Structure 1
Amino acid sequence: MKLSVIIPVFQVEESLERCVNSVLTQGFNDMEVILIDDGSTDRSPAICDELAAKHRQLRVVHQANKGLSAARNTGIALSQGSYITFMDSDDTIGKNTLRPLMEELKLHPEYDILEYPVCLFYQSDRQRVLTFPKKAYRCMTTYWLEEKVYEHTYAWNKIYRRDLFHDVRFPEGRVFEDAYTLPRLLANSRVAATTPEGMYYYYWNPQGITATATGEELAQLLESHVMMLNRLSNDEGYTPQMLKSYYEKILNIQIDVCEMTGNTPILPELNIGWTECSTKLFLQKIFGTKGLCKLYKTIHKLCRRSH
């Protein structure tokens, strides 16, 4: 039943102890905490070693810098728990979070993934809480669409059965790696569940990929979502109308990618009736995806000039 908590570490000397201490003070001992020092050049490697010397639950690996995905993959390979969860080393988890989550998994051994609440952009003016009902999904498409999982594909705030990773790893050299990986884990899952128990605190990082993504990096995110959309479109029983909200999110990413890169659109059009279209989908039907992207690029250019 042991839980493996995997924490990649890179240049986080200011927040590392705060992160690790939030795990070690849970009052839950059936776990190992694996710190993957990904070639840090600040005091992070020394802090990892100092913490490991004090706490027997900690394991430390020092490796050359390979990126977040490679660090997580190292942790997965070394993990010995029946379950895995991930943390970013500048985040924390709330008090008394892990015990009730693991008790829930013990009560429901059929759960492959358990998702719990997250406080987004903690201690910033953008702070908000994302919470969930107590619910189990036996259809991963329903989970993806009904819970709008596509808006929170985060690797953290979820506990996974370790077996899900038998043929899945995070893609090295790719950004927005969570959006690429979670659909593959869902393909290996039979039951995904949500719970209102616990809290993950995600601290806003103005230098993070969400805030600084380039057009080419957003293109990688777009590609992941288009692959998932194509998979869902082929599922029996799921109509274009049911995919509408998800599709509109992807369309917004497509518009941004076209504006930032000039790349030809890769998003196929959604086969939906005129009367069911939002304004943006209505314009897409008239101008096509490429024309819609050009239209929004022009609108944005005019808005910038007016300011």
Structure 2
Amino acid sequence: MLLSIIIPVYLVEETLQRCVKSILQQTFTDWELILVDDGSPDGCPALCDEYCQQDARIKVIHQANGGLSAARNTGLLQAQGSYVTFVDSDDYVRKDTYQQVMQQLVEQPEIDIIEYPITLHTGNKQREKILSFPAKRYSNMLTYWFESQAYLHTYACNKVYKRKLFNQVRYPVNKVFEDVYTLPLLLRQSKVVATTDKGMYFYVDNPQGITATAGGEQLKDLLHAHLAVLQDSQLTEHEGFATYYEHILNIQMDVCEMTGAKPTLPSFSFRGQQDIPFKTRLSSLIGIQRLCQLNQFIHKVYRRSR
């Protein structure tokens, strides 16, 4: 078995058939599909059982509701493939994707993780966009993190991983933005990461999904995930660090504004450096707490003027 495909299932009667069909239609056939029914209270459990009866490559696991991370972790425990990937049950995969991606992995077995293109906000004419990548290999994980700005696309689903990377790694239960927590842990165990311009994952907007409904407390989880990444002392030495820091700074400002909490992001000095983003430079001059206060003041004035 070459590839294990894990699909958590919960309240997705309307989209599950499209999702599973996109796997069944793959031109690549050496896979197993693990459907993890996460205690779905609708007709999804019965649908999963039907799919299992139709194709011997499909496995179904029924469990009490534990959330997305718990469902993925259950799938990982059952996976038999040399490689593993994830698909969200709202989404679907172009039929030639795994054929092209797995061919590269077979030809270049030293690759630990491969990332392929993803269409974001599929079906939303105002927001739909394709996130594509060059055909490239990275033997330095920090270079991958900064050069490709991987911190902006930590999605679990547009990547294929060597299954052994998960021997000591699991998705964090009861956390949102679980992908941001997990990808850095996988990168620490990886020697080669590749990006490819082949294949396509279609991410479909879910109005009830966490990215659409996240409030201050959920954004705290996102902030904490990035703060964990900052524990790596080598980060600050990379030329892309200032831009990454501004990304975290924006999250910190949102958390402060939404929750009233004091900032927890540590300060770094960027004085004397070139090409420093404006907010990053400003934070080193006036401090993060004052920057958060300034951000709230500007937003308050803007709302009053509308």
Give the TM interval when normalised to the shorter protein: over 0.9
Corresponding position: 1:162 with 2:160: no
Deviations 1:257-285 (A, max 9, x none): 01011111111122212563433233323
Unaligned 5+ runs, structure 1: none
Asked if the contact 1:240–1:271 (Cα under 8 Å) also holds between the matched residues in 2, the reply is no
How do 1:176-195 and structure 2 match up within 5 A?
A: 176-195=177-196
Q: CA 1:274–1:280 in structure 2 vs 1: closer, same or farther (change >3 Å)? A: farther
- Cα 1:145–1:282 shift into 2, 3 Å: closer
Structure 2 unaligned blocks of 5 or more: none
Hey, what's the Cα distance between the residues in 2 that align with 1:15 and 1:242? 39
1:274–1:282: 8 Å Cα contact kept in structure 2? no
Tell me what 1:212 maps to.
Answer: 213
Mapped to 2, the partners of 1:286 and 1:207 lie a distance apart of 39
Secondary structure (helix, strand or coil) at the match of 1:150 reads helix
Residue type matched to 1:245 in 2? T
Whether the 8 Å CA contact 2:243–2:277 is kept in 1: the answer is no
Counterpart secondary structure, 1:37: strand
Return closer, same or farther for 1:134/1:241 CA change in 2, 3 Å cut-off. Answer: closer
Alignment pair present for 1:292 and 2:291: yes
User: Where does structure 1 differ by over 2 angstroms across 4 or more consecutive aligned residues?
Assistant: 238-242, 274-279
Question: Among residues 245, 261, 264, which one is paired with 2:259 in the alignment?
Answer: 261
* Aligned partner of residue 237 in structure 2, secondary structure: coil
Q: Which residue of 1 aligns with 2:240?
A: 242
The 3-state SS of whatever aligns with 2:53 is helix
- Indicate the SS of the match to 2:167: helix
Q: C-alpha offsets along residues 127-185 of structure 1, whole Å, 9 cap, x if unaligned?
A: 00001111111111111000100000001000000000010000000000000000000
The 5 A counterparts of 1:1-307 are: 2-124=2-124, 125-231=126-232, 234-235=233-234, 239=237, 241-273=239-271, 276=274, 277-307=276-306
SS at match of 2:130: strand
1:14 is paired with a residue whose SS is helix
Number of aligned residue pairs = 304
Distance in 1 between residues matched to 2:294 and 2:120, nearest whole Å: 33
Post-superposition shift, 1:287?
A: 2.2
Separation in 2, partners of 1:282, 1:175: 30
The CA deviation at 1:34 is 0.2
Equivalent-residue separation in structure 1 for 2:258 and 2:123 (angstroms): 31
User: Is the 1:241–1:272 Cα contact (8 Å) retained in structure 2?
Assistant: no
Counterpart of 1:267, as a letter, is L
Tell whether the 8 Å contact from 2:112 to 2:162 is kept in structure 1 after alignment: yes
Amino acid at match of 1:161: K
Cα deviation, 1:41-100, whole Å, max 9, x if unaligned, reads 111111111111111111001101000000000000000000000000010001211111
Contact 2:7-2:34 at 8 Å conserved across structures: yes
Aligned sequence identity (%): 52
8 Å Cα contact 2:38/2:71 also seen in 1: yes
Instruction: Check conservation: 1:240, 1:270, Cα contact below 8 A.
Output: no
Equivalent position SS for 2:160:
strand
| Aligned-partner Cα distance in 1 for 2:46–2:187 | 37
RMSD of aligned Cα (Å): 1.3
TM-score, with structure 1 as normaliser: 0.96
Q: 1: CA distance between counterparts of 2:101 and 2:282? A: 45
Q: 1:54 to 1:177 in 2, by over 3 A?
A: same
Q: Which deviations, in whole Å up to 9, do the C-alpha atoms of 1:100-134 show, x marking residues without a partner?
A: 11110000000000100000000102000001111
The one-letter code sitting in structure 2 at the alignment partner of 1:260 is M
Residues in 1 aligned to 2:278 and 2:69: alpha-carbon distance in whole angstroms: 38
